[in-house]
Each structure stands twice: as C-alpha cells, then as structure tokens.
Amino acid sequence: MHFFNLLVLCLIPVSTSLRLGTRFTDHEVVIDMGQKVGTVSKSYLSSAFTIGTIQEHWRHFNFSSERPFTLLQGLSPMYVRFGGTASCWMHFKKDKALEHKNFTDFTITPDDLERIAMIGNKGGVDVLFGLNACLRNSDGTWNYTNPLEILKHIASQGYDFGWELGNEPNHLSKFNRSIPAVNLAHDFITLRKILDKNPDYGHILVGPDVTRPINKINTPSQQYLESFLSVARGSVDAVTWHQYYFDKRTCEVKNFYDPKILDYLLIQLHLIKDLLAEYAPDKRPWMGETDSAWGGGAEGMSDRYVAGFTWLDKLGMAARLGTEVVIRQSFFHGHYALINDDLYPNPDYWLSLLHKRLVGQEVLNVQNSLDEGRVVRVYAHCTNTGLGQYQVGSITVMAINLNTHDTVILRLTVELSGLPVDQYLLTPGDKDITSGNVKLNGEVLEMIDDVTFPNLKPLSIPTGEITLPPLTFGFWVVPDAKAAACM
C-alpha cells in the first residue's frame, strides 16, 4: 500500500525510571487511511432521559433556563431516548385531573409529551419514546389501546417522534411479568403496521432493547434476540441492546480503567455482530442504553473524569465493530448523567462535545485496535468537517492511556512526521481521576454563561510527536493527512 494511505504511530511507554537508562518497547500502530471500514450515523453519539424523570415531575430540570437546551444543542444531531423499566407502569391520560404518579402506576399527560417535544425542538435533537409493552390482552397479545392515544396526540400536535416498544423484555421476571420473544415480535409487527398506515404517527421503530450477552455464546439474552429477529426483523429499523460493565454497588475506581473489564464490551460486540449476521444481516445494531455502572451509575465515579475511559473506549470500539448509534444513559439525572441536577456539565459531557465536533462518520481501521488486553487504545475516524474547522481529508485519532505510571509517546511515521497535529488532551481538573472537573490542554472547561461554550482551542504540535500522560485520553486531529478514505 502507498505510504500516503498509512498513518503509522509508535506507542512508546516511557517508564518513570527511563532517565536512569531503563529500556522501553516501541508499539507500532497503523491506521489505514486508504479506505473506510464502516460508517456511523450522524447521530452516533446520542443520549437519554429516563422515564423516571417524568415520574418525579421533572424535578430539577428547569425548562425556563437556556442552559440545558444549549448543552443539548452542543451534541446535536443526536437521538434523545425517553424509556426505561418504568415504562411498564406508564399510562397516558388526557384529563390532567386524573394525573397520578408512583412507581407501580403512573400517568403521563399531554403536558409531559409537550415538554418532551420542547426538549426535542429547543435542543435540536430527535426524540425516541418507549411505549408500554406490558399492557396485554387475555390472549397474550399487546393491548395497544392506550399507547395508540400517545401516537394520536403526537400526530395531532405535529410532533415527530421515533418509537420503541418495551424495555429489556427478557429481564421482566423480577417484576413478575413475562413477554415471550415471539409474542413481542408480533407486537412489533402490529406497531409497524400502525405506523405504516398512519405516516403522521412517525416512522422510526427500533427494538427490542434486550440486555447484554454476558460474554459467552447462547446466553438467555441472545436466545431472546434470536427468537425475536426470526419473526420481526422486518419491523424494526435498527436492533437495540443494552450494555453496562458493572454494578454500581460493587464497582471500584480501578474498574474504570481495567483493560480486562473494558474488553467485556469487545466480546459482547462480537457476539451481537455475529448474531445479526445470521438472523438480520440487513440491520445495524444500536446500543440503545449504555453506561459504565448499572443501577443509576456509581456515585463519585460514573460522573467524574475516570468515567471517560469507559466512555471513549466504548465510542471507539463500537464504531469499529459496526454499531450505528450509541445512546448514553443518561443526559440528565443519575450519577451517570452528562449534566448534573444543577444543569452543569459533568466531565463526560465535555468528552462527548469534543467527540461530536471532531469525529466524523467514516471509521478507519487501526491495526491491533481489536486485540484484547490493550493498555494503550487507539481508534480513528475521518474528521468531522461539517463545522468548517477542518478540511476534507483530515483524520481524528482517539487515544487512551490506561497505564497508571507510564507516559506514552505517539510518533508519526517518517513520511508524515512533518505534518502538524492539533491536540485535544483531556486531564483531570485537580490531578485526581475522580475529579468532577476536566482540563483541555491544561485549562479547566466550564460554561462561560448559560448560552456560551468555552473556546475548545487545540494545542498545535508542529513536530507530530504526541505525549499521552498516565491515565489520560484525548483527540488528535491531523488536518493535512489527505486520507484517501476521507476525500
């Protein structure tokens, strides 16, 4: 291959004792710039609100403030999902006087739907709404009478929602409920017929939002998904599944940068990809709900700088293995949220904002990027040129250093070593990886006011030599790469 179609980076772990003469090993990483290996959606990085936010009467979410809508706009285009376990207890009532909300029986009203539409419209994002699949007829089929009222109301107001049906249907036994996969498949077919017959109800339908396979073949989650797809694959626009690494009650800080734990996702992505190749080769997978720790996120960890290791690695790895959309749980509320209950960004918001601005849809192949146990992780895309900051042909490199003591030097190969690189290095705000702040090239990131982002200015590296300190991550743009895959 012609050298202009290759970008070679040498990853050199530098020991703290290197100055005493300790040897180090060169790790060569090759990025193929000659052809893309995949394409993600323009809404690849997406996010979610839990139905619980509605149950809690939108507590803390200030609709009169411009800040949350500014922060949503920063991540547009994206899908914003409204769904979750509580959708099983959700009923729509037009009469506001009948409003009643608790966990086992709660009502959403036209006011709630209008607030959701406001989030979509003012935030410049597309809404995905999860309908209640637990309403069943005596013969086991879906009783869609009440959900149909939601569709009709949305259409009457001229809103455009996308739809889901149910949430983790293979995991309902803990609530003493059960929806067999074949039954749910027929429910999706029913909903698809309704949407096709009434185009003003919306047209996007994704599902079935099963839980993750647990790193081995033929788990109950996979069996459920296989049975569903064997009947209903023609009814969905994308196949959704959920992914978390660990339980919020038992996880530790070190789990967030443990290569073995990060590789759980590698195995799961391969399992999902292989399953779709067999049962739904014409469909793309979506990670319909995902974060680090299930159960609302781990306090003091999922909302801190350290969570960026799991988030950036997931974004890079999922794109490389064919995922079309990744929906982060959540945008607001919970310890895994991108913005806190005071509506200020957590560290992962800034990571997400940089990803949205710098990372394009075309995925490039990085040699060894799918090997297990990697302590230095590198992914690459064509650069997002839609904002006018970078020219066509640029590439964006995402790199993560999981070493706890070693600095990594990334060097461009001789043929490209003279090209400048724009660095967007993210480090913890106070040198502690559990910091609630994050620095970009040494400057703490924070909103200037409710409608103004800070200047996300890169550090120019004219020599092409990139330094990645221990337990850090970031983005590097090569503006003059002239990658054939990106032209």
Position 89: which residue type? W
Who contacts 60 (Cβ-Cβ below 8 Å, separation ≥6)?
332, 333, 341, 342, 343
CA 180, distance to chain mean position in Å, is 28
Provide the 10 A C-beta neighbour count for residue 470.
17
Q: Is 441 helix (H, G, I), strand (E, B) or coil?
A: coil
- Tally Cβ neighbours within 10 Å of residue 145: 9
Of the candidates 138, 144, 127, 157, the one whose C-alpha atom is nearest the C-alpha of residue 46 is 127
> Distance (Å, rounded) from C-alpha 441 to C-alpha 302?
22
Phi, psi angle pair for 105, to nearest 5°: -165, 100
What's the chain's length in residues? 487
End-to-end CA, the chain: 17
Helix (H, G, I), strand (E, B) or coil at 271: helix
Would you call 168 a catalytic residue per the annotation? yes
Closest by CA position to 189, among listed 162, 202, 207, 173: 207
| Cβ-Cβ contacts under 8 Å for 11 (sequence gap 6 or more) | 26, 27, 28, 29, 376, 378, 408, 409, 410
Q: Is-contact 411 10, C-beta < 8 A?
A: yes
List 386's β-bridge partners, or say none. Answer: none
Catalytic residue among 289, 299, 446, 465: 289
Asked if 87 and 147 touch (Cβ cutoff 8 Å), the reply is no
Q: What are the C-alpha distances in Å from 202 to residues 330, 341, 376, 461?
A: 24, 31, 43, 48
Q: Is 289 marked active-site?
A: yes
- Let me know: does 243 contact 212? Beta carbons within 8 Å: yes
> With the C-alpha atoms ordered 415, 417, 420, 423, is the resulting torsion angle positive or negative?
positive
Q: How many CB atoms lie within 10 A of CB 261?
A: 17
Q: Which among 164, 168, 324, 362 is annotated as catalytic? A: 168
Q: Supply the residues annotated as catalytic.
A: 168, 289
